[in-house]
Structure 1
Amino acid sequence: MSFARFEVFSKIAELGSFTKASQQLNMTQSAVSHAIASLESEWGVLLINRDRRKGITLTEVGQKSLLHIREILNRMEHINQEIALVRNLEIGTIRIGTFASASSCLLPKILSEFQKKHSQIEFKFYEGSYEEITEWLNIGIIDIGFVVEMDSTSTFEIIPLIKDKMVVAFPSNHMLNHQEIINIQDLQKEPFIMPTGMYQKYIEDLFKQENIHPTIRFEVHDCNTIANMVKEGLGITIGPELFLKTQQNIQLGTLNLTHWRHVALACPSVKEASPAVREFLAVAKKVFKSKS
């Protein structure tokens, strides 16, 4: 059994394209096609549906096989890292799922400390929404992911990093700019840009707590779009300080009602993680120990 064919199949499933998979794997497209064809021939099943108009999709058996194949590849990565440790070598790849504000504000701090001792470890970063990161963890695309407020039903192990305050964001010339503390009642008649992402519920709970019905002008999912709309004077918003403080030409204000979101790293199992992943988590805990 060739693990190289497993890697090809996993990469095609991840990217949804034979061409993109061949580029990332530094293989010819014909070699990629041959690897899948030989795997299907050996098993006697069709793993991938090929359609010129609709593109490629996994068959039912392909989807079921993918979960096991990714687990096998992850186990092989762990074995290789364990062997390297015994030989006093350092190898391995860590796959991290991250969202925008974590990428810019948290990840560099951990990487800087980690690479002081482990410069040979490679990284692959997958940036997406909170929901996508959770899905990637579930299906084995990533080893660890930045998450926010995992609920009690989560099966992941959680490593808390920081508390991130929810703040008001408004244009630099807005009248709120001169208020040290902003009363949430003052936001009731302001044109409001409501985020539709994961922290929408936090904002709705804040308004509900004070029996306020905000004047919602826009509902937007993308954080960067929201920040740009605030810059252009299209409305104000409430959001996480970690992200909003990195945006230029908008001002932030502190609400009279304090609400925090908790940012953490999630891992399916620290005990079963590779040596490189366990060390990365240990470094992350050390870096943010005083801020969690």
Structure 2
Amino acid sequence: MSIVRFEIIAKVVELGSFTKTADALNMTQSAVSHAVASLESELDTSLLIRDRKKGITLTEVGQKVLPHIREILKRMDSIHQEIALVTNLETGIIRIGTFASASSCLLPKLLSKFQKKHPKIEFKFYEGTYEEITEWLGSGIIDIGFVVKGKSNPNFDLVPLIKDKMVVAYHPEHRFHTKETVEMNDLLDESFIMPTGMYQSHVEELFEEAQIKPFIRFEVHDCTTIANMVQEGLGITIGPELFLKTQQNIKTSKLNMQNSRVVSLACESIENASPAVKEFLRVAKGVFE
């Protein structure tokens, strides 16, 4: 049973296409098809369903087998990394799941520090929601994921990085622009843009604690869209400082009531992680200590 076949079928599932897999692995499409067919023949079962309309999906057996295939590939990568460490030749790839504000505000600083010490380690990034990152961690698609406490599987090992406060955001010419701290009660008369995405629960907790109901003029899921609407003066919003402080033509102020999210790096098991992943987590601790 060939590891190469495992790599090919894992890549086919990831990309959802034999053609894209062939391009990614520098192979012919027929070679990719042959490798998958050979593996299915060896296992005496079908792993993939090929449908012209729906594309490529996993069979019921494939859904059960794929996590084991990914685990074998991770173990092989760890073996190569351990050998590389002994011979002073670093190698390996780290797959990281991240959300928008972590990508723009946390990753650059962390990657800069890490790659100065370990320039030969490669990275692959997957951007998604809290829920998607948790799912990717559980299924082995990623090695590490940026998560928020309370939004991740409690069975994951966590490395806390920062406490990200909720702040109020508004147009620079808004009446709040002179206020360092805004009272929750001051939000009552404002057109409010309610986030319906990843940090909605934090915003709702603030209003519940203040025992007030905002005048919700818009409900918006996408963080960037919310920021653009605030920039146009269509309303104010509450959101994570990590994201909002990087937006142009937006001002932020503290709130008289505190609510924050703890952003952490999650790993299924630090003890069983590859040397590269362990080192990445160690560096992260130092950067955000």
- TM-score bracket for this pair, using the shorter chain length: over 0.9
Aligned to 1:57: 57
Which whole-Å CA distance do the structure 1 matches of 2:24 and 2:236 have between them? Answer: 42
In 2: Cα distance, 1:88 partner to 1:286 partner: 23
Query: What are the residue-to-residue correspondences of 1:64-143 with 2, within 5 Å?
Result: 64-143=64-143
Distance 2:241 2:44 in 1: 54
CA offsets per residue over residues 40-73 of structure 1, 9 Å max, x none? 1111111111111121111000111101100100
**Retained in 1: the 8 A contact 2:137–2:144?**
yes
Find the counterpart in structure 2 of residue 149 from structure 1.
149
Matches within 5 A, 1:3-82: 3-82=3-82
The code of the aligned residue for 2:12 comes to: I
2:223 partner letter: C
Q: Distance in 2 between matches of 1:226 and 1:38?
A: 50
Q: Is the counterpart of residue 263 in structure 1 residue 263 in structure 2?
A: yes
| TM-score, normalised via structure 2 length | 0.96
Partner deviation per Cα, 1:98-136 (whole Å, 9 max, x = no partner): 111111111111111111221111111111111111111
Mapped partners of 1:136, 1:64: distance in 2: 15
- In 2, the alpha carbon distance for the partners of 1:108 and 1:251 equals 23
* CA distance 1:280–1:11, change in 2 (3 Å): same
CA-to-partner distance for each residue in 1:199-227, whole Å, 9 max, x for gaps? 21111111011111111122222111111
Separation of aligned partners in 1, 2:196 and 2:187:
18
Task: Name the SS for the 1:57 alignment partner.
Answer: strand
For 2:78 and 2:96, locate their aligned partners in 1 and report how far apart those are by CA, in whole Å: 16
CA RMSD of aligned residues (A): 1.3
Conserved in 1, the CA contact under 8 Å of 2:130 and 2:152? no
Work out the CA distance in 2 between the residues paired with 1:29 and 1:212. 60
Q: Is the 8 A contact 2:130 2:151 kept in 1?
A: no
Question: Partner residue of 1:166?
Answer: 166
Q: Which runs of 5+ in 1 are unaligned?
A: none
Unaligned runs of 5+ in 2: none
Please report the TM-score for the alignment, with normalisation by the length of structure 1. Answer: 0.96
Q: One-letter code of the match for 2:270?
A: V
Q: Give the secondary-structure state (helix, strand or coil) at the position aligned to 1:226.
A: helix
Q: Which amino acid aligns with 1:157?
A: D
How far is the alpha carbon of 1:150 from its aligned partner?
3.4
How far, CA to CA, are the matches of 1:130 and 1:109 in structure 2? 21
One-letter code of the match for 1:8? I
Q: How many residues align?
A: 289
Whole-angstrom distance in 2 between the partners of 1:181 and 1:105:
23
**The residue matched to 1:115 in structure 2 has which SS?**
helix
Following TM superposition, the consecutive aligned residue runs of length 4 or more in structure 1 with deviations greater than 6 angstroms are: none
The letter for the 2-side match of 1:241 is E
- How far is 1:2 from its partner? 1.0
Q: C-alpha separation between the residues in 2 aligned to 1:207 and 1:262? A: 20
Give the Cα separation in 2 of the matches to 1:173 and 1:21: 51
In 1, Cα distance between the equivalents of 2:170 and 2:39?
56
Distance 1:42 1:178 in 2: 71
How many Å apart are 1:180 and its aligned residue? Answer: 2.2
Percent of pairs with identical residues: 69
Stretch deviating more after TM superposition (264-273 or 111-120): 111-120
Q: 1:79 corresponds to which letter in structure 2?
A: I
